[in-house]
Amino acid sequence: MATTQSDISPLVERPKRVDARRNYGKLIAAARDAFAEHGTSASLEEIARRAGVGIGTLYRHFPSRQDLLEAVYVEEVEEVCQSAGELTDLPPWEALAEWLHRVVGYVGRKHALAEELWNYLDRDAEVFRGCRAALFAAGEPLLARAQQAGAVRHDANLDDILQIVGGIGKNPTTPPDRIEHVLDIALDGLRYRSA
């Protein structure tokens, strides 16, 4: 069963009015793009401009840079968690492998956000605990299904797998065009092999 937005949504306050939700979404998308291009120090004025809103609208939704960083971080986690539900029609191994490919992409994007958030928050802060719990809730059913089908080693757990994927996604020495290949090699080690 996939994690739903409501599983981690309490970590960020989303607006209720339609126009406010639209502006919120535009700001998150603009911030994600700006952070990807310029790092987490991208100017808030530039983010508001990209979103097509005034700086006052940005500050109404996100009173501080930390609030915006947290919201972008949570949105990225929600997307990767929700993607697990899109894979249930695939065979067990393919579903798990595809989700882990999505996770490695997310890890590469969120690493800089997490590093910046650690300037404001403890590593055990609610936002990190909630996001981690959501990742486990999304990935554990995929792993269990693959293990039950005999496609994945029974001694592997999701914590082990996410550590492998995280290490691959965060490794600054791996060229971006090689990450998927390195992940495929690592995933090959998860496959069940009869003696």
Q: What is the pLDDT of residue 49?
A: 96
Q: What is the pLDDT of residue 175?
A: 84
- On the question of pLDDT at 8 being above 80, the answer is no
Q: Could you tell me if 144 and 51 lie in one domain?
A: no
| Domain membership flag for residue 4 | no
* Dist CA 130 CA 9 (whole Å): 9
Place of tokens 């936002």: 127
Domain interval for residue 58 = 13-63
Do 70 and 59 share a domain, yes or no?
A: no
Same domain? 139 vs 192 = yes
- pLDDT given at position 4: 42
pLDDT digits (tens, 9 = 90+) for 121-175: 877 888 889 999 999 999 999 999 999 999 999 999 999 999 999 889 888 888 8
Q: Can you list the pairs that 45-51 forms with residues at least 24 positions away whose Cβ atoms lie under 8 Å? A: 51/23, 51/26, 51/27
Identify which has the larger pLDDT, 9 or 114: 114
pLDDT tens sequence across 56-109: 999 999 999 989 999 998 999 999 999 999 999 999 999 999 999 999 988 877
| Whether residue 41 is found in the same domain as residue 124 | no
pLDDT of residue 1: 40
CB environment 19-58: b (16+ within 10 A), e (fewer): eeeebbebbbebbbebbeeeebebebeebbebbebeeebb
User: Which pLDDT score is estimated for 28?
Assistant: 94
The average pLDDT across 32-50 equals 90
For residue 121, the domain's CATH number is 1.10.357.10
Residue of 109, 120, 19 whose CA lies nearest to 63: 120
3-class secondary structure, 159? helix
Q: What is the pLDDT of residue 95?
A: 97
CATH code, domain with 20:
1.10.10.60
> Please, which pLDDT band fits residue 14 given cuts at 50, 70 and 90?
low
8: in domain:
no
Q: What is the value of pTM for the model shown? A: 0.82
